Amino acid sequence: MIELDRVSKAFANEETGQLVRALHDVSLAVEENEFVCLLGPSGCGKSTLLNLVAGFERPTAGRVLFEGRPVQAAGPERGVVFQDPTLFPWLTVAQNIDFGLRNLGLGAAERRRIAERFVSLVGLADFARARPHQLSGGMKQRVQLARVLALDPRALLMDEPFGAVDAQTRDRLQDQLLDIWESHRTTVLFVTHNVEEAVYLADRVAVLAPAPDGITADVPIAIPRPRDRYSEETREATMALMGVLADLPCCVLPSRRVGETPSREPAITKPG
């Protein structure tokens, strides 16, 4: 469903003009309805890889395919949940969800029905008319999830979506995500640097090392669902993955702190 075929991506450093290699010769395939976690240290290019699949960036070399066709641009069939909350602050929760529905050209009544359904799905029906700045970090991420789910995406691309919320909230968000994934059955590509998170969520964990190494391990997580965060087999899988991570070289780029906008990792430039 998602296929990266020997993909490389380099960015020009804005000050020095020097090319920085973010991804080198990376290949990865994600099957339909599979939940794949992309695990790796900060700055190893995980977000870059996700941005390529999302269509925000173009690969310098190689091909990125979605359902067999090369990715040209971003679109609602690949719903992205960003690490930083990117809800539009000038719209209410319901209007934020409505934003994408409008672009689909649906009628007002139908849009309202869908928005209501997905606001309720993430448990925020009481906050439909609140503005983003009135919500907590966890609630904002739930709205982000709702607004892409409402567009009925073929795949969910999630970029450390729970990286900036407290541990307790994160556990609850993970459970909520798994519930939704099981009832809606979509493909998920989930970026994280948190090993426990990867083991708890994923069917399969792809470990991404800093360029030029690429994907160094592809580990199926065979633990039956629903999973227990604290069971023996969960712990074993976690330890095994941590061993894989420990063997990786430290990343070359400065690590990104939680909540910082990814201004260094992928150099962001406005298109056009």
Partner 1 sequence: MPEAHLRPTAQASASAAPVLRLARRRVSGIGILTAVASVLIPLALWWGLAAIVMHLRQVAFPTPYETALRLLELVRGRLLNDFTIYQHVADSLQRWALGFGLAVGVGVSSGLLLGWSRLFERLSMPTVTALQLVPGLAWIPVAILLFGIGERATVFMIAITALAPIVINTTAGVKGVNELFIRAARMMGADDRTLFTRVLLPGSLPHLLSGLRVGFANGWRVLVAGEMIVGTGTGLGYSIIQSRWTLDYAGAFVCIALICLIGLLAERGVLLPLERKTIERWGLARTG
Residue in 9, 24, 147, 256 binding partner 1, rule: CB under 8 A: 147
Q: Which two tokens stand for residue 194?
A: 């948190």
Strands 69-70, 61-66: parallel, antiparallel or unpaired by DSSP? antiparallel
> What gap in Å lies between CA 73 and CA 52, rounded to an integer?
9
Residue from 27, 72, 120, 136 that binds partner 1 (CB under 8 A)? 136
Residue 256: which residues within 8 A CB-CB, separation 6 or more? Answer: 42, 43, 262, 264, 265
Type of residue numbered 33 = N
Whether 148 contacts 177, CB under 8 Å: no
Instruction: Name the nearest CA neighbour of 269 among 21, 38, 43, 51.
Output: 51
Q: Which of residues 33-72 bind partner 1 (CB under 8 A)?
A: 54-56
Residue closer to partner 1 (CB basis): 29 or 74: 74
Of 117 and 204, CB closest to partner 1: 117
Options 135, 207, 221, 237; binder of partner 1; rule CB under 8 A: 135
Residue of the chain from 42, 47, 92, 186 that contacts partner 1 (CB under 8 A): 92
Nearest approach in angstroms of CB 170 to partner 1 is 12
Contacts (CB under 8 A) with partner 1, residues 152-171: 164-166
Minimum CB distance to partner 1, residue 22 (Å) = 17
Peptide bond connecting 262 to the previous residue in cis, omega within 30 degrees of 0: no
SS3 192: strand
Query: 231-260: which residues touch partner 1 (CB under 8 A)?
Result: 258-260
- Among residues 8, 33, 60, 86, which is the contact residue for partner 1, using CB under 8 A? 86
Contact between 103 and partner 1 (CB under 8 A)? yes
Binding-site size for partner 1 (CB under 8 A) equals 50
Is 128 within 8 Å of 94 (Cβ atoms)?
yes
120 makes contact with partner 1 (CB under 8 A): no
Cα–Cα distance measured from residue 235 to residue 107, given in angstroms and rounded to the nearest whole number:
49
- Segment contacting partner 1 (CB under 8 A): 12-20, 24-32, 102-110, 116-124? 102-110
* Closer Cβ to partner 1, 187 or 238, answer by number: 187
Smallest separation (angstroms) from partner 1 to the CB of 149: 12
Instruction: Give the binding range for partner 1 (CB under 8 A) out of 108-116, 140-148, 180-188, 239-247.
Output: 140-148
Q: Which residues within the stretch 171-230 sit at the binding site for partner 1 (CB under 8 A)?
A: none
Query: Whose Cβ is closer to partner 1: residue 83's or residue 238's?
Result: 83
Kindly give, in sequence order, each residue whose CB lies less than 8 Å from that of residue 105, ignoring residues fewer than 6 positions away: none
Tell me, letter by letter, the H, E, C secondary structure of 47-109: HHHHHHHHCCCCCCEEEEEECCEECCCCCCCEEEECCCCCCCCCCCHHHHHHHHHHHCCCCHH
Chain residues binding partner 1 by CB under 8 A are: 54-56, 73-76, 78-80, 82, 84-90, 92, 99-100, 102-104, 126-127, 129-137, 139-140, 147-148, 151, 164-166, 258-261, 268, 270, 272
